[in-house]
Structures are given as structure tokens and as C-alpha cells.
Amino acid sequence: MAIPDYQTVMLPLLKFVADSLEHSLREAIDSLATEFSLTEAERTEMLPSGQQAIFNKRVGWARTYLKKAGLIESTRRGFFRITDRGRKVLSDVPNRIDVNFLEQFEEFIEFRSIRKDKSHLEEVGTNEVDQTPEESLESACRKLPEGLASEILQITKNCSPAFFEQLVVDLLVKMGYGGSRREAGQALGKSGDGGIDGIIKEDKLGLDIIYIQAKRWDGTVGRPEVQKFAGALQGQRAKKGIFITTSAFTKEATDYAAFIDSKIILIDGVRLAEFMIDHGVSITTQTIYEIKKIDSDYFTEG
């Protein structure tokens, strides 16, 4: 089955501690993973940041919400147990415990008013309501670059061919090619050979040269254009080339580039915009958000 959202985890988690014994979060995670029949891949699937397992974090948030509603309580560092209120809730045999259910408790309402989650949840879609705050933030962070990439690509298409060639060099230098910006700029356009717009060093030492084709096009790039570039490489006895365009490549073009001996990397408009975002070309940072958590070691008394 799919990884359950944190609200779906709430009732099973409360039932898990119904024995009134104290339990650790790790115990709860392992038990609930078995109850939900999660595969090993589902248990270890990470958030986009790659720093935390999705299921572990969802169990953690379910525990936080139950605690804020007074259904469970902390007993010592990393351990918790059910409260009298929690036992009362289970005795009523609820079908589901979620955010709406917990809003019957004043402590939880106060907690929510402090975090201002309610206004946020009213603004997002149903699927996002089931996400933990970290997941909602990371989801938003994934969506923002999509709009930014589209805007970058549109602006780039309106640039002059000469500016686009300079943009390509800026990007390649940021990616680690070409040594200094000055050296890369001098190399641009010096070959004068048909099908080649410029050359750039593969590394800062200049151990090899990469030939560049940079086309600010609206239509798709087909096999003939890539084949012409490959022929130009052969004329220079070159083995490596980068073909960058603001549009897209046809399947015949990509198949041809993969088949020939020369190593030609094709970068279409979508990948170009993604690389520009990743390497900070033509963009600036507007806002930085920090996610903070408790330093448990600070509260460890010696």
C-alpha cells in the first residue's frame, strides 16, 4: 500500500500505546510499518531533501499532534504513553482521528492558533492537507522552480543569438568548465567552423576542449542539425561536444547522438533552465527559510 499520511497514522498510533506502557518513537515506527504492510522501499523512502524517511517523519508528526491534544504524554526523552484522555477517546471507538477530530480539545486549538496551521490548510489542496509541514514546504519548493524555469526559458528565447551564446558560456563556467570567465569568453566563436559556435576547456587545466553549438530556436532541433554538428567535430578531430538549444530535440536527433562515436551532450530548453537555476545563472535568491528543531542534547542534564 502507499505510505499513509500523518493523519491516517494518528488512530493506529494511539491504539499502539493503549497498553498504558511507555514506548519509544522507534518502537512505534516499526510496529506501524508492519501494521500498514509497508515494503522496505516504502519504509526507507526519503523526503526530497534526502535527510529523513517520509514514514518516520509522519509518525513523528502524528505523535506531536496527539501530544498537543493531550491524548499522549512524554515520559522521558524519546518515550511517551497514553493519557486518561487518550484512553477515553479509544473507549468511544472512533473511526478516525485527524486534525478536525483533535480540534475538540482546547489545548490543540491553542497549539494550532500559535502555528497558524488552520489558515494554511484552508489555502492548500486536499492532498497537501495530508502532508506534514516539512512535506508541504518541500512540495512548494519543488513547484516554485517549475514556474521559474518556464519564465527563464521564455526570456532566454527573446535574447539575441550573441547574448545567448554568452549565457551558455556563463553557465558552463559555473558548472566547472572553461577555467576563468575571461578565458572562456575569449574562446567563444574563435573556431569559425560551420556548425560550431564556440569552444571551451573541459577543465581548468585545459586538458581537453569541448566544442559548443548554441541555438536560440523556437522549433525542434532534428537529426540534420545534430549530424552537421557531429561532422564539424570530426573536421576538428574532436570527440566531445555540447549542443544547447532553447527548444527541444526530436527522437531521431537524440537517437543519433547516442549512436555515434563522438560524445555529444544534448541540452534542451527544459534542462537548460534547470541548470541555470541549479547553478545560479541569471537568478538571485529572494528569501531563505530555515527549518529548526529541538537540540535534545541541550536538555540532557549531566
Residues of the chain with CATH 1.10.10: 6-131
Closest CA to 170 of 276, 256, 24: 276
pLDDT in tens, 88-101: 999 999 999 999 99
DSSP calls for the chain: -PPPPHHHHHHHHHHHTTTS--EEHHHHHHHHHHHTT--HHHHHPBPTTSSSBHHHHHHHHHHHHHHHTTSEEEEETTEEEE-HHHHHHHHT--S---HHHHTTSHHHHHHHHHHTHHHHHHHS-HHHHTS-HHHHHHHHHHHHHHHHHHHHHHHHHTS-HHHHHHHHHHHHHHTT-SSSHHHHHHHBT-S--TT--EEEESSTT-SSEEEEEEE--SSPB-HHHHHHHHHHHHHTT--EEEEEESS-B-HHHHHHHHHSSSEEEEE-HHHHHHHHHHTTSS-------------GGGG---
The CATH architecture one would assign to domain 6-131 is Orthogonal Bundle (1.10)
Query: Which residues face 199 on adjacent strands?
Result: 211
pLDDT of residue 127: 45
> pLDDT by residue (tens digit) across 31-83?
999 999 999 999 999 887 677 889 998 999 999 999 999 999 999 878 999 99
Fold of 155-278: Trna Endonuclease; Chain: A, domain 1 (3.40.1350)
Q: Per residue in 146-158, pLDDT tens?
A: 667 878 888 888 8
Quick one: pLDDT at residue 254? 94
Distance from chain centroid for Cα 167: 25
The tens digit of pLDDT for each residue in 17-36 reads 999 999 999 999 999 999 99
Region(s) of the chain under CATH 3.40.1350.10:
155-278
pLDDT digits (tens, 9 = 90+) for 183-206: 665 554 444 445 677 788 877 676
